[in-house]
Amino acid sequence: MPCKQGMPKLVVFDALMAHRFFLFLIRVLESAALLVISSAALANVSIVGTPAASATVRQWGNAFTAATNIEVSYVEALEDISTSELFVGIYDLAVVEFPLTTNRLSDKGLVQFPLLGLGIAVAINLPGIPSNAVRLDANVLAAMYLGQITAWNDPRITELNPHLSLPAIPVVPIAQSDGSVVTFNFTRYLASGSELWRKKIGLGSGLIWPLGAGEKDGGAAAKKLLAQEGAVGFQSWEIVSTFGLKTVQLKNGHGEFVRPTPERFASSLRNFLDQPTTDFSAPVNISSADAWPIMAVIYGQMKQIPEDVPDAQETVQMLTQVLKAVTPGTNEQIPVAYQDIAAALSQIQTSKRFGPPQKKRNGS
């Protein structure tokens, strides 16, 4: 009889536990749904790339967030890590200094487009000589960095500057080995004017320079340049402006001596982007009479078929909005015009596709 009395209790107990279990299950499902919804709401633009572009791109991101309330993050990373992390779908946009070749881009299913242009100037520290008074060319600069020209009153320098009385102080070449496109394109300029440089030293962003190891970065090189009389170095225009360095006129691809100005950088970038480019095309000695001879371009990369379609849509939206709004030629880093990247952005599939497109049957 105790069994008969106990059974209803057990049934009631089981029903109660089942009820509790279902309540628990519903809460778990609610939490999961909330998590999914909140993660969708937090969809944002994640960018990885070079420290050289971080200030400008973060500025773009802040402007975009203020306008749309969509978060934009920028993480600094090594050159190829940026591309790899974009490839595996961690980030939506990679910003790189060294562009990939067309073969490698198609292998990885990436789209590449220019984002920013930089002017690279040659800076000097010569007491009593005003900024942009001295004229130099690639051959003389290469001879300075090779240690062949050791004093500022060397005949090869005075030949280019007959109007100046240059001091008889030693030339102190200052270079950085920082792995940047600024350094790489400066060596491109030296190689364009000196066969000896081309054969012996070559191109490099982190060279062991003929006169010793380079400084760790542009900032360290600029400080040394300011401290050392007779110094000559190369810097991006951003650092030249920050440190107030004196610059020189350089001989461009047309044989003209030109002064570095933001307007000239912008027009040189425009010339470069208007020309048909192939792999390894660089904005050095651009074929225009008024062009500044040493420029650099920073590129953006996106996946053609993105992992996260909403984020890719927002990235395209950000680039479109920002590049349509900025005025070219007003900044130290020159943004490209929206028209320059419109074709590349249109290749990115920002609508979800499931599987290959179905073929039509019977020709219908």
Partner 1 sequence: MKLLWDRSLRCVIPVFVFLLCVEGAQGGGRVPTAYNQRYQALYAEQELFRKRPELLPCVYAARDFAQSSQTAIFNKLRFTSSSVQTGFVIEALSSTKVSRTVRMQGEGRVRAYSFLENWEPANITCTFVSGNSPLVQLSVLEEGSPKDDLSVTKE
Expressed in angstroms, the distance from the first to the final Cα of the chain is 78
Give the contacts of 91 (CB within 8 A, at least 6 positions apart).
46, 47, 48, 75, 82, 85
Task: Annotate each residue in 153-192 with x if it binds partner 1 (CB under 8 A) or - if it does not, as one string.
Answer: ------------------------xxx----x---x--x-
208 touches partner 1 by CB under 8 A: yes
Query: Do 188 and 282 form a contact (C-beta atoms < 8 A)?
Result: yes
In angstroms, what is the minimal distance from the CB of 195 to partner 1?
Answer: 11
Instruction: Report the alpha-carbon distance of residue 324 to residue 164 in Å, rounded.
Output: 45
**Cα–Cα distances in Å, from 159 out to 131, 142, 260, 282?**
19, 16, 21, 29
Site for partner 1 in 26-45 (CB under 8 A): none
Q: Which is closer to partner 1, CB of 191 or CB of 326?
A: 191
Instruction: Report the alpha-carbon distance of residue 206 to residue 99 in Å, rounded.
Output: 17
> Taking contact as CB under 8 A, which single stretch among the options 25-33, 58-66, 275-283, 286-294 is the one that binds partner 1?
275-283
Give the contacts of 230 (CB within 8 A, at least 6 positions apart).
125, 126, 152, 167, 169, 170, 171, 172
200 touches partner 1 by CB under 8 A: yes
Q: Which is closer to partner 1, CB of 104 or CB of 223?
A: 104
Query: Do 173 and 232 form a contact (C-beta atoms < 8 A)?
Result: yes
279 touches partner 1 by CB under 8 A: yes
Query: Considering only CA atoms, which of 124, 129, 335 is closest in space to residue 240?
Result: 124
In angstroms, what is the minimal distance from the CB of 179 to partner 1?
Answer: 4
Q: Which is closer to partner 1, CB of 280 or CB of 354?
A: 280
5 touches partner 1 by CB under 8 A: no
Site for partner 1 in 42-101 (CB under 8 A): 78-81, 84, 97-98, 100-101
Task: Annotate each residue in 304-343 with x if it binds partner 1 (CB under 8 A) or - if it does not, as one string.
Answer: ----------------------------------------
> Taking contact as CB under 8 A, which single stretch among the options 54-62, 114-122, 149-157, 193-201 is the one that binds partner 1?
193-201
Query: Do 242 and 55 form a contact (C-beta atoms < 8 A)?
Result: no
Q: Tokens 């800076």, residue? A: 123
Binding interface with partner 1 (CB under 8 A): 10, 13, 17, 78-81, 84, 97-98, 100-104, 177-179, 184, 188, 191, 198-206, 208, 278-281
